[in-house]
Amino acid sequence: MPYAMGMNARLPILTSTLLLTMALSHAADPISQKPFGELNGQAVTAYTLTNAHGMSAEILDLGGIVRRLHVADKDGKMADIVLGCKDVDSYINDSPYFGCITGRYANRIANGKFTLDEKTYTLATNNDPNHLHGGNVGFNKKVWKAEAAVKDGDPTLTLTYVSPDGEEGYPGELTSVVTYSVTKDNALKITYKATTDKPTVLNLTHHGYFNLAGHDSGKTILDHDLQLHCDAFTPTDATAIPTGEIRKVAGTPFDFTKPHAIGARVDAENQQLTYGKGYDHNFVINGEAGTLRPVARVVHAPSGRVMEMQSDDHGVQLYIGNFLDGSFEGKDGVTYQHRQGFCLECQRHPDTPNQASFPSAVLRPGETYTKTTVYQFSTQ
């Protein structure tokens, strides 16, 4: 009986089948959801997307906020690597835009005014003289319609928000659809689509604050090594509005074309660093906009975590949490210190509606705004 197995030979197979079954029964569901409070009587829900490796993202239908992002270190230990708030109230009233979708226009519009097709529009000036991140009640403070499903094998959350004509002073009814997925190769992938019924301006982005040591590590991000595939940046005036110049980074503290610790030159003598209180600048991504291409690579050597970012947008805002000052209590009772998180926000350049030399941020009826950003995680 050459093919018959004795009891002893079967045991290892039975044991491994049992272990596999146990492991599978303990594997997290790819999608789960739970209530996260309410906003003006509207329920807010937290969705958790988990891939087969255990990487997970907790995303709120409030503002499309990525509230938690669990990523493995070089020893397989998970940590939550994004800063976040404790509850809805804190996200609405205190949050420095942690993890949200900013819109309609990410970053600043000078003096809250722009002219489109000879008509001037006035927006809220919620950042000294300027308009910031869509105004008083931007897309980060809206409850989006959510649909969770496994698509192409990846847990995916699709969020839709219809912004009425005139909301926050912007023209046109704008329908935005933002899709998050946690992919099988450990990326948080974000796609954006939008259409309008009147000419308008638009600039959507994801405003995650990352700390690859863990949001609760108590450490700043100054020891993270950053490489930016950007040969130029947009210098700003004293109110953080671009001057219109596209300046080469070579020879300046903005040169991250080769990897450097974020903190290596952040306090160097440079007029731009004074104005932005550290890095708070937009860079021009090398290569062709409209094509998904490398933007940044960030390495945190002690944990071995690596974040690689790709986008098809024109620019990326590097902001390193200069305005965090230890007074803000976030989730899990953690108090965030100065420069405890960095943001890499792919977007059109700030103030594009007033800057004729920058690539346009105008969206017209019949056109579809599309863009993709990928934050990919690995270890080394």
Closest to 180 measured CA to CA, from 158, 153, 147: 158
Active site residue 345: yes
Instruction: Encode 125-159: b = buried (16+ Cβ within 10 Å), e = exposed.
Output: bbbeebbbbbbeebbbbbbbebebeeeeebbbbbb
User: Could you give the CA distance from residue 283 to residue 169 in angstroms, rounded to a whole number?
Assistant: 27
Choice between 137 and 162, CB closer to ligand BGC: 137
Rg (CA), the chain: 22
Instruction: Encode 220-243: b = buried (16+ Cβ within 10 Å), e = exposed.
Output: bbbbbbbbbbbebbbbbeeebbbe
- Nearest approach, Cβ of 94 to ligand BGC (angstroms)? 12
Q: Look up residue 224 and give its two tokens.
A: 């993270």
Choice between 154 and 345, CB closer to ligand BGC: 345
User: Could you give the CA distance from residue 149 to residue 153 in angstroms, rounded to a whole number?
Assistant: 9
Choice between 130 and 310, CB closer to ligand BGC: 130
- Nearest approach, Cβ of 123 to ligand BGC (angstroms)? 16
- Nearest approach, Cβ of 318 to ligand BGC (angstroms)? 9
- Nearest approach, Cβ of 270 to ligand BGC (angstroms)? 17
Q: Which of the residues 58, 167, 345, 349 is marked catalytic?
A: 345
Q: Which of the residues 207, 215, 224, 229 is marked catalytic?
A: 207
User: Could you give the CA distance from residue 369 to residue 367 in angstroms, rounded to a whole number?
Assistant: 7
- Nearest approach, Cβ of 137 to ligand BGC (angstroms)? 15
User: Could you give the CA distance from residue 344 to residue 374 in angstroms, rounded to a whole number?
Assistant: 11
Active site residue 269: no
Q: Look up residue 245 and give its two tokens.
A: 């110049």
- Nearest approach, Cβ of 78 to ligand BGC (angstroms)? 27
Q: Answer for the pair 115, 84: CB distance below 8 angstroms, yes or no.
A: no
Q: Answer for the pair 214, 329: CB distance below 8 angstroms, yes or no.
A: no
Choice between 143 and 316, CB closer to ligand BGC: 316
User: Could you give the CA distance from residue 304 to residue 254 in angstroms, rounded to a whole number?
Assistant: 24
Q: Look up residue 47 and give its two tokens.
A: 């969705």
Choice between 180 and 342, CB closer to ligand BGC: 342
Q: Which residue's beta carbon is nearest to the bound ligand BGC?
A: 319
Residue 362 pairs in a beta bridge with: 201
- Angstrom distances, CA of residue 5 to CA of 10, 16, 19: 7, 16, 21
- Nearest approach, Cβ of 254 to ligand BGC (angstroms)? 14
Choice between 107 and 195, CB closer to ligand BGC: 107
Q: Which residues bind ligand BGC (CB under 6 A)?
A: 96-97, 107, 133, 240, 280, 317, 319, 323, 343, 345
Residue numbers annotated as active site: 207, 345
